[in-house]
Amino acid sequence: RKRVSLADIPGPQPESFLMGSLAELHQEQAAEADFRYQAEFGGVAKIKAPFGVDMLWICDPKALQYIYQTSGYNFPKQPERRVLSGLLGDHGLTWADGETHRRQRKVMLPAFGSPEAKALLPVFEHYAEQVTLKWRDIIEGSPDQRAVLNVIKLIAPATLDAIGEAAFDYKLGCMDNAENELARGYNSLAAGIFSSPSKSKLFWTSVAHYMPMGISEWLYANLPGKGLDKARQNRRAAHRIARELLDLKSEALLHSKGSRDVMSIIVRANASENEKTKLADDEMIAQMRTIMLAGQETSSNTLSFALYELARHPHYQDRLREEIRATERVVHERGDSTFTSSDMDGMPFLQAFVREVLRYHPAVPHNYRQALKDDVLPLSKPIRTLSGAIVNEVPIPKGTRVTLSIAAYNREKDIWGEDAHVFNPERFLEFSGKRGPTVGVFANILTFSGGIRACIGWRLAVLELQSFLVQLVSNFEFGLTEELKRLRRENALVMVPTLEGEPEKGVQLPLVVSFAPRSD
């Protein structure tokens, strides 16, 4: 500890000895504190946990590359964060670390390749169409053919149904019945549990760092609380269905009747593993819950923010619609009624728009890790220490917790240009190369994280976003409402839209929706 110290690293003044920097990082709008740190301290800053304990906050590209990729397994997740992953996804991939993570990921990877994702495109198209039909009914029934819709109210169950079918070939039926057990269990799951955390919640979550994980898990399983009740209801509902599905899929495998959903591929891959590397039944069930957790709220919130950006920038909306109309003509001339993934790959503005939405509104604004040993983090850009030295690397003592700022990396001016804080899809049209080290797994944006535990479902997520956008923008025009002046990007583990002053109403994104103009 004496040899390696963070004493000389500059950082923000903590709010108090007891709370450290937790409140500003988690109670303000998502990433507001991050953007301040970035402007004031650059790529790395010393922040405080309770009781004055030093932690590091990082958005420097080279340091991130080192932590995510070069030295990935030397920077495991923090135990207090793993317990939260376990609460919502059992001992599945987002919880696992080290050798267990390596083993689980190997079995799961074959289900998430490019051909496997493309095969699921019709599922996303189907649910985008269901949203279209429902909104169409509402608008046709309104006197002036337009309606103010809280768009996320239908997008959330649609993406949930889509992930149910894509991942398990199972019809959850959440769009048609919001009261079904699973629909209730997944309705704003992370948002419901983690929005607007109180100071005491933040304090105890952080202090759980020092508790044996078994005790934290027991507390989360048994303590009273509305959020914890929701997590428990979710666990019961998800386990019941996951068990049924696992039996069905294992049975299908016995009769060589595999299907192309994610879980069937994982069941097949698992069957060819040896006894040592095979996932046990409870690990398989955990993966099902993990995929539902990781794949739904992230996608539905990103899509909702995408519609918000279209409403905020009518010229981008028109441009995207023009591109969709032009591609529709090609698709129809060919005798098809739906876009293939190659059609979408051939739409430069759609590609640029999706990338910019992901860059600007990262659904997961932070990742959390800790150093397994004394180490040295390389920096892309030197910093000036408190004693006035200019350094190109930062020593990091064993055990130090690090907050990796996905949101701030995505706004790094050296990488994205001087207008990094402006929503501008054109940056991806003008610039096809890459500035800085490779960090993010998709377009070098960090939204899907990077390295050894980058988002395993990123291809599915991108395809889903593209396919929903094509249908929704083809059919509808989106406009802003007065209420959106109060839009908050709430930090609830995932970033969700809420309205200032109405936290009790949960996730909200009211847009004016009308039929899209059609010249043909």
Give the shortest CB-150-to-ligand HEM separation in angstroms. 20
Determine the size of the site formed for ligand HEM (CB under 6 A). 23
In the beta sheet, which residues pair with residue 390?
A: 384
Q: Which residues contact 387 (CB under 8 A, 6 or more apart)?
A: 8
Pick the piece of the chain touching ligand HEM (CB under 6 A) from 43-51, 132-140, 172-180, 454-462.
454-462
* Binder of ligand HEM out of 83, 461, 499, 511 (CB under 6 A): 461
Rounded distance between C-alpha atoms, residue 510 and residue 268, angstroms: 43
Rounded distance between C-alpha atoms, residue 21 and residue 25, angstroms: 6
- Closer to ligand HEM at the Cβ: 396 or 446? 446
- Closer to ligand HEM at the Cβ: 105 or 243? 105
- Whose CB is nearest to ligand HEM? 457
Whole-angstrom CA distances from 105 to 34, 134, 269, 317 are: 30, 38, 11, 38
- Closer to ligand HEM at the Cβ: 368 or 515? 368
* Binder of ligand HEM out of 447, 466, 475, 498 (CB under 6 A): 447
- Closer to ligand HEM at the Cβ: 305 or 477? 305
* Binder of ligand HEM out of 209, 361, 453, 489 (CB under 6 A): 453
449 binds ligand HEM (CB under 6 A): yes
Rounded distance between C-alpha atoms, residue 123 and residue 110, angstroms: 19
What mask, x for binding ligand HEM by CB under 6 A, covers residues 248 to 287? Answer: ----------------------------------------
321: enclosing H helix or E strand: helix 314-333
**Two structure tokens written together for 358:** 């992901």
Give the shortest CB-302-to-ligand HEM separation in angstroms. 4
Reduced to 3 states (helix: H, G, I; strand: E, B; else coil), residue 17 is coil
Burial 456-485 (b: 16+ CB within 10 A, else e): bbbbbbbbbbbbbbbbbbbbbbbbeeebbe
Pick the piece of the chain touching ligand HEM (CB under 6 A) from 132-140, 319-327, 431-439, 456-464.
456-464
What letter would DSSP give residue 66? I
- Closer to ligand HEM at the Cβ: 439 or 455? 455
Give the shortest CB-59-to-ligand HEM separation in angstroms. 14
Give the shortest CB-404-to-ligand HEM separation in angstroms. 9
What mask, x for binding ligand HEM by CB under 6 A, covers residues 287 to 306? Answer: ---xx--xx--xx--x----
Give the shortest CB-33-to-ligand HEM separation in angstroms. 19
Q: Which residues contact 502 (CB under 8 A, 6 or more apart)?
A: 486, 508
487 binds ligand HEM (CB under 6 A): no
- Closer to ligand HEM at the Cβ: 85 or 195? 85
Concatenating the DSSP letter of every residue in 323-366 gives HHHHHHHHHHHTT-SS--HHHHHT-HHHHHHHHHHHHHS-SS-E
94 binds ligand HEM (CB under 6 A): yes
C-beta of residue 172 within 8 angstroms of C-beta of residue 160: yes
- Closer to ligand HEM at the Cβ: 47 or 262? 262
C-beta of residue 83 within 8 angstroms of C-beta of residue 213: yes
78 binds ligand HEM (CB under 6 A): no
Beta 401-405 vs 54-58: how paired, if at all? parallel
Rounded distance between C-alpha atoms, residue 82 and residue 91, angstroms: 9
**Two structure tokens written together for 385:** 């220490």
Give the shortest CB-136-to-ligand HEM separation in angstroms. 26
C-beta of residue 494 within 8 angstroms of C-beta of residue 505: no
Q: How many CB atoms lie within 10 A of CB 236?
A: 10
**Two structure tokens written together for 236:** 């019961």
Phi-psi region of 426 (alpha: psi -120 to 50; beta: other; left: phi over 0): alpha
460 binds ligand HEM (CB under 6 A): yes
448 binds ligand HEM (CB under 6 A): yes
**Two structure tokens written together for 88:** 């919502």
* Binder of ligand HEM out of 457, 497, 506, 510 (CB under 6 A): 457
Among positions 140-169, residues that touch ligand HEM (CB under 6 A) are: 167
370 binds ligand HEM (CB under 6 A): no
Residues forming the site for ligand HEM (CB under 6 A): 93-94, 105, 167, 290-291, 294-295, 298-299, 302, 363-364, 367, 447-449, 453, 455-457, 460-461
